[in-house]
Amino acid sequence: MARIVVKFGGTSVATVERIRQAARHVKREVDAGHEVAVVVSAMSGKTNELVGWVNEASPLHDAREYDAVVASGEQVTAGLMAIVLSEMGIQSRSFAGWQVPIRTDDAHGAARIVEIDPTELDKRMKDGWVPVITGFQGISPHGRITTLGRGGSDTSAVAVAAAVKADRCDIYTDVDGVYTTDPRIVPKAQRLTKISFEEMLEMASLGAKVLMIRSVEMAMAYKVPLLVRSTFDDPDAPQVGPDGLPGVPGTLVCDEDEIMEKHIVSGVTLAKAEAKITLRDVKDNPGVAAGVFGTLADQGIVVDMIVQNIADDGATTDITFTVPDSEYDKAIKALENAGDKIEYGRLSGSKGGAKVSVIGVGMRSHAGVASSMFRALADKGINIQLITTSEIKTSVLIDEQYAELAVRALHTYYGLDKKDA
């Protein structure tokens, strides 16, 4: 007998019919003798609709009320899932974040989970109940509803799994696993059987939205194995597989040591809508970068790639960095208004960049991955605007119009295309 936390994403609970399909997966696990807790997202499109209503009511709204509104989508699906499970003969009860409680900090709209009290969930599961918990939300130290940021139900699921000491966390979604790149962009993408936490972390932070970054960080920290699989597979198909894990198509996100076959490049990611900002003739003094990025951090602007040149005249340098397109105007204004805090000559920038990255733990031991990436892009006539690297990834910023072309070219170049496609 295992204890499993299962999470269903928005498309998996988009209608009552789909909730029924999702519930059949839960029933299979319960019938097999496992203890199960469920975490649900809102119906797909619902959170966007709720965000739209909040902005329509007032673009300058109080973040506490934003959370009160956008958290409601998950309350609906949690209740519906509990009803559907009960109808199937499974004792089930829904729990909103505050009822568990899932305690978070008070960063409304992007809250972090601080603590989950497992008592009630633990008791229910031991008594043969299936608790259904709203994803994406919690309660602040002031007793207000908070939300965790878009895609946050993945994080709720992993946090619940860690809190109730689950054996694994199954993420049910609309694809049957983690692919070498987004299968919507490259139909030849292949499903990975296993991927390491570290590679998944890079993939999530570089644009593969199949898992929220924070959920992977948490799974890695608490050693919760994640299984990404499809809700739309037949729930009654045989489920025996290696490691006591289902033998159905899926991807196991696990420790690097558990992966025998290590690829040099495991995946290619794409993040669009990246704006580039350059500060020229910045004084080459200690504290200048802290001034620039402190100014942006004060505004809550998240900076991604950062490149600083050496000062060839010994006095001034250039700094280029990227922010999401949606934060571009705010970032420019913040820098222009920073006054004496930052001494620079000129400010320039543009929206509409795309960040394309190649990821793989094999890069640690293989030279030449970056140079071959640049060659593959050059062969397609694609100009590289910025480059950043880490131990297991290389990212480039290019013009958005070449984004898909670049992803496809790199996917083919590194031999990731499905053989029979």
Residues that bind ligand ADP (CB under 6 A): 9-12, 41, 151, 173-175, 178-179, 181-184, 208-210, 267
| Pairing mode of beta strands 137-139, 145-147 | antiparallel
Which of Mg ion, ligand ASP, ligand ADP, none does 174 bind, CB closer than 5 to 8 A by kind? ligand ADP
* Segment near Mg ion (CB under 5 A); pick from 89-97, 143-151, 213-221, 256-264: 143-151
Which of ligand ASP, ligand ADP, Mg ion, none does 150 bind, CB closer than 5 to 8 A by kind? ligand ASP
Which of ligand ADP, Mg ion, ligand ASP, none does 182 bind, CB closer than 5 to 8 A by kind? ligand ADP
- Show the tokens assigned to 257: 């040591």
Cβ-based nearer residue to ligand ADP, 155 or 295: 155
Cβ-based nearer residue to ligand ASP, 75 or 190: 75
Beta strands in 9-84 (DSSP E): 35-40
Beta bridge partners of 229: 172
Cβ-based nearer residue to ligand ASP, 156 or 190: 156
Whole-number Å distance between alpha carbons of 65 and 54: 8
- Residues touching Mg ion, count (CB under 5 A): 2
- Provide the 10 A C-beta neighbour count for residue 230: 16
* Residue 179: DSSP 8-state: B
Single-letter amino acid, residue 318: D
Q: Among 131, 135, 138, 151, which residue interacts with Mg ion (rule: CB under 5 A)? A: 151
| Least distance CB 27 / ligand ASP (angstroms) | 23
Cβ-based nearer residue to Mg ion, 40 or 102: 40
383-386's contacts with Cβ under 8 Å and 24+ in sequence apart are: 385/276, 385/353, 386/276, 386/305, 386/307, 386/320, 386/322
Which of ligand ASP, Mg ion, ligand ADP, none does 152 bind, CB closer than 5 to 8 A by kind? ligand ASP
Cβ-based nearer residue to ligand ASP, 11 or 190: 11
Known binding site for substrate: residues?
47, 74
277: buried, middle or exposed (CB in 10 Å: 19+, 13-18, 0-12)? buried
Task: Please give the residue ranges that form the binding site for ligand ASP (CB under 6 A).
Answer: 9-10, 41-42, 47, 73, 135-136, 150-154
| Least distance CB 164 / ligand ASP (angstroms) | 19
DSSP line for 252-319: EEE-GGG-SS--S--EEEEEEEEEEEEEEEEE--TTHHHHHHHHHHHTTPPP--EEE---TTSSEEEE
Cβ-based nearer residue to ligand ASP, 152 or 246: 152
- Which helix or strand (DSSP H or E) is residue 405 part of? helix 403-413
- Would you count residue 246 as binding Mg ion (CB under 5 A)? no
Cβ-based nearer residue to ligand ASP, 151 or 349: 151
Cβ-based nearer residue to ligand ASP, 207 or 353: 207
| Least distance CB 176 / ligand ADP (angstroms) | 9
| Least distance CB 331 / ligand ASP (angstroms) | 24
Known binding site: residues?
7-10, 47, 74, 173-174, 179, 184, 209-210
* Segment near Mg ion (CB under 5 A); pick from 3-11, 178-186, 295-303, 343-351: 3-11
Q: Alpha carbon 89 to chain centroid distance?
A: 34
Which of Mg ion, ligand ASP, ligand ADP, none does 42 bind, CB closer than 5 to 8 A by kind? ligand ASP
Which of ligand ADP, ligand ASP, Mg ion, none does 136 bind, CB closer than 5 to 8 A by kind? ligand ASP
| Least distance CB 117 / ligand ADP (angstroms) | 25
Cβ-based nearer residue to ligand ASP, 41 or 92: 41
Q: Dihedral sign, CA of 406, 412, 416, 421? A: positive
| Least distance CB 20 / ligand ASP (angstroms) | 19
Q: Alpha carbon 51 to chain centroid distance?
A: 19
197-205 helix and 213-222 helix, angle to the nearest 10 degrees: 160
- Coil, helix or strand for 3? strand
Which of ligand ASP, Mg ion, ligand ADP, none does 77 bind, CB closer than 5 to 8 A by kind? none
| Pairing mode of beta strands 130-134, 92-95 | parallel
Burial of 341-360, coded b for 16+ CB within 10 Å and e otherwise, reads ebebeeeebebebbbbbbbb
| Least distance CB 42 / ligand ASP (angstroms) | 4
Whole-number Å distance between alpha carbons of 398 and 421: 27
Positions in the binding site for Mg ion (CB under 5 A): 9, 151
